[in-house]
Amino acid sequence: MSKKMIAIINGPNINILGKREVNVYGTEDWNSIEQKVKAIGKKIDTELLFYQSNYEGDIVGFIQEHMDNLSGVVINPAAFTKTGYSILDALNALNSPYVEVHLSNIVSRGGWHSESIFTETAVGFIMGLKGYVYELGLQAINNYLEGNKND
């Protein structure tokens, strides 16, 4: 069997979170998060593809480009939580599981994450204040894949 390939996809604004809300997010940025997630990918012998875009169409294009190779996806749809129907369609066409993650909490965001269009078909939903949500998302999708190997 070939090595698992999992995409870690980010919607808009991750690169400015550390600057905009420094008291909440500290000095994290996409690069520091990526390094931590890569360490877990290596530990579980999984190839990772990282992608970040502020444009819904670009994210859809990335998913479609890698559709045949992806075992699973960890996605932070960010501002696309209510409007990302084309991303949701692309994820559902994958025929591979995905976990939705968010770098925030319901209280600080006024509860809008509770209306996510992605949650219904995701195999997991992780929310937190720090980039560890990506690490947890990767572990969750890996556990899901390992638990469903023989299906």
Q: Round the CA-based radius of gyration of the chain to a whole number and report it.
A: 14
With CA atoms as reference, report the closest residue to 4 among 131, 124, 138.
138
CB hemisphere CA count around 130 (13 angstroms): 10
For the residues of 88-151, what is the DSSP string, one character each?
HHHHHHHTS-EEEEEES-TTTTTTGGGG-SSTTT-SEEEEESSTHHHHHHHHHHHHHHHHTTT-
25 catalytically annotated: yes
Among residues 25, 98, 113, 134, the one annotated as catalytic is 25
66 catalytically annotated: no
Among residues 98, 102, 113, 134, the one annotated as catalytic is 102
Residues marked as catalytic: 25, 102
